[in-house]
Amino acid sequence: MPPSVVVFAPSPLLTVTIEDRAGVPDIHVHAGGQAVWQARMISTLGVPVVLCTTLGGETGDVLGHLLPSEGVELRVVHVDSRNGGYVHDRRDGDREPIAEAPGAPLDRHEQDALYEMMLREGITHGTALLGGPNSDQVIPAALYARLATDLSRNGCRVAADLAGERLDAVLEGNPFVLKVSHEELLADGRADSDDPDALVAAMHQLRSEGAGLVIVSRAAEPALALLPDGDESGDRNGDGDGAVLEIRVPELKPAETRGAGDSMTAGVVASLVRGEPVREALRTGAACGALNVVRRGLGTGGEDAIRTLAERVELVEWKS
C-alpha cells in the first residue's frame, strides 16, 4: 500500500462562484471547505487521499457528484443534516457574499458513525489530517480530542490545521504537524501581539503542550516554523533541531488570497508522508501556498509549478 493521507472533512461545502467572462456571468459550482481543498492539494503532489466526510440534504446530493476526483477515495456517512454552502459574486474582482448557509449539526449517531469511520481509516493508512468544520455547531471540539488521542495511541500520525477549542483539543493527541495562523493565535489569546517574538513564544508553548512541527502563517508576511527536536514525530530524516525558521516565498501578484495556509499545510503533510526532510517539506508547503494565491480555484495547482517555486523558497533562521 503506497503512503497515503486520511483527511477528516466533517462538513464539506457546496460552493457557487459567479465570475465575469467577457461581460457575461460565468457560474462555477464546486465542492469546497478546508479539508476538501487540502485533499485536492495532497493528491496533486501524488499522495493518495482517503476523504472521510458526511453528506446530507440537497446540497449533499450535489456534493456526492462533485467530490470524487483522481487520487481521492471517498468514504461517506450519509446523514439527515444538510451540508452547508455559499454563493459568492466575484465579477468585480472582490469576493461579495450573496448567500451563505452553515452546515447543520450532526446528531449523536451521525457523530459516532463519522468517528468510527475516521478511526478505522486512520489506523489503516497511518497518517491523518484533521481539518475543521465550516461551522462551530457541526461537531463538538471534544470529538477532536478523542479522535486525535485514539489515532495517536494506535500508531496513526496526526496533523492538524485548527484553531480555538479544536486546537486545544487536538494537542491531546500530540500532532506531528500543527499549523495555525497568527490571527487565530491572537483571537485565541495565545499571543498578545503579532510581533514575531510573541508568536514564537506561542509556538514554543504549543510545543510544550504536545505539538511536533509548528507552523504559523502570517498573511502576507513570511510564515514561521518551529522545527521538531532530534527524532521527534514528523522529523523522519533527522534534520529537525528545534530552530525557528522564517519561510520566504517568491513575490507573486495574488488573484485569490484565501486558502494559502490550507494549501501550505497540505503540501507539508504530503511531503513528509513521501519521506522528504522537514526543510524540504516546508519549501514544498510554502510553494503550494504561494501558487494557490495566483489561482482562483482553492487547493489547486500543478506539481511542476509547485516544484519550480519550491526551489525559490528561502528558509532563514529567525533570531529575536
CA distances from 110 to 12, 68, 124 (A): 15, 21, 21
Please state, in angstroms and rounded to a whole number, the distance separating the CA atoms of residues 136 and 182.
Answer: 20
Q: How many CB atoms sit inside 10 A of residue 295's CB?
A: 17
Q: Are 249 and 309 in contact (CB under 8 A)?
A: yes
**Closest C-alpha among 185, 143, 154 to residue 11:** 143
Residue type, 235: D
Predicted confidence at residue 189, as pLDDT, reads: 96
Block means of pLDDT (10 residues each) for the chain, 320 residues, are 90 94 94 94 95 97 93 96 94 91 94 98 98 89 97 98 96 97 96 96 97 94 90 43 89 68 94 96 94 64 86 91
Predicted confidence at residue 165, as pLDDT, reads: 95
Predicted confidence at residue 77, as pLDDT, reads: 97
The pTM of this model reads 0.91
- Strand, coil or helix: 297: coil
Q: How many CB atoms sit inside 10 A of residue 251's CB?
A: 7
Q: Cell 507573486 identifies what position?
A: 252
Strands of 13-21's sheet in order across: 24-32, 13-21, 84-89, 96-101
Predicted confidence at residue 237, as pLDDT, reads: 40
Residue 31 φ then ψ, to 5°: -85, 140
Q: Are 224 and 318 in contact (CB under 8 A)?
A: yes
Predicted confidence at residue 159, as pLDDT, reads: 98
Residue ranges of domains in the chain, CATH in brackets: 1-173 (3.40.1190.20), 176-320 (3.40.1190.20)
**Closest C-alpha among 3, 103, 2 to residue 53:** 103
Facing residues of 15 across strands? Answer: 30, 86
Distance of CA 103 to the CA centre of its chain: 18
DSSP string, the chain: ----EEEEESS-EEEEEEEEETTEEEEEEEEESHHHHHHHHHHHTT--EEEEEEE-HHHHHHHHHHS-BTTEEEEEEE-SSPPEEEEEE-TTSS-EEEEEEPPPPP-HHHHHHHHHHHHHHHHHHSEEEEPPPSSTTSS-HHHHHHHHHHHHHTT-EEEEE--HHHHHHHGGG--SEEEEEHHHHHHTTS-SSSSHHHHHHHHHHHHHTT-SEEEEEETTEEEEEEPPEET-TT-TTS-EES-EEEEE------S--TTHHHHHHHHHHHHHHTT--HHHHHHHHHHHHHHHTTSSSTT---HHHHHHHHTT-EEEE---
